[in-house]
Amino acid sequence: MDHAMQLIDLTHRFAQDMPVYPGDPPARLEQIAHIGKDEYNMYCLCSGMHVGTHIDAPLHMIAGGKFVCDVPVTRFFGRGHLIDARGCMHITPDLLKRATVCVGDIVLVLTGWSRRFGDDTYYTGFPEVEPEFARELVRIGASILGLDTPSPDRSPFVVHKILLSAELLIIENLTNLEALLGLDAFDVVALPAKLQCEAAPVRVIAQPRDK
């Protein structure tokens, strides 16, 4: 396959046994019609918006902030940067020195935490983003911060508020970021469902490219 045409999926599969953030309602993905009995297959999904790989819009933490459907579609495409934070429990601004992030870019942070997805430990003890890292992304004008953890921070969610108040979107529960190691350059497409909600499921794809 041509190198430029390779696509790397960074999205968790949404299945019936999806783990949810502690305190959130369980997700239900149920088959309600079957070929043979009903002449067709049909599934019903009942889920909060913060299950699996999803994107947070400003309304999630900011009163009067934008719904996902109100975010311009151009915001979901951008040049990607991988921050290798494996072994780090705190994501600090010095990690950004390894990348030349510009306005509109999408920053993905690899911690390796996604290997715990589905385990009880996934939601406990995950690495956190420091507020100064978030402020630096805002200063630069990045478009999206994506993580292979369930959240950039914990209550009182200072980092969420720093980013979303600047309309810098957040993707949580990424996976397969290790596949980006060694790539000199790549683009990211992160298209969410066009929902009038504070967040939405998102399919995140990276495409290698020449510098």
Q: How far is CA 58 from the centre of its chain?
A: 14
- Give mean pLDDT, residues 156-173: 98
**Cβ contacts of residue 103 below 8 Å, gap of 6+?**
140, 141, 142
Q: How far is CA 13 from the centre of its chain?
A: 13
Q: What is the mean pLDDT of the chain?
A: 96
* pLDDT tens for each residue of 44-94: 999 999 999 999 999 999 999 999 999 999 999 999 999 999 999 999 999
How many domains, in total, are found in the chain? 1
Residue 196 CA to residue 55 CA, distance in Å, equals 13
Residue 45 CA to residue 29 CA, distance in Å, equals 5
- Taking residue 82's Cβ as centre, other Cβ atoms within 10 Å add up to 22
Structural domain harbouring 69: 3-208
In this predicted structure, what is the pLDDT of residue 19? Answer: 95
In this predicted structure, what is the pLDDT of residue 5? Answer: 65
* CA atoms lying within 13 Å on the CB side of residue 105: 20
Q: Residue 20: which CATH number?
A: 3.50.30.50
Residue 100 CA to residue 102 CA, distance in Å, equals 6
* pLDDT tens for each residue of 98-154: 899 999 999 999 999 999 999 989 999 999 999 999 999 999 999 999 999 999 999
* pLDDT tens for each residue of 175-204: 999 999 999 999 999 999 999 999 999 999
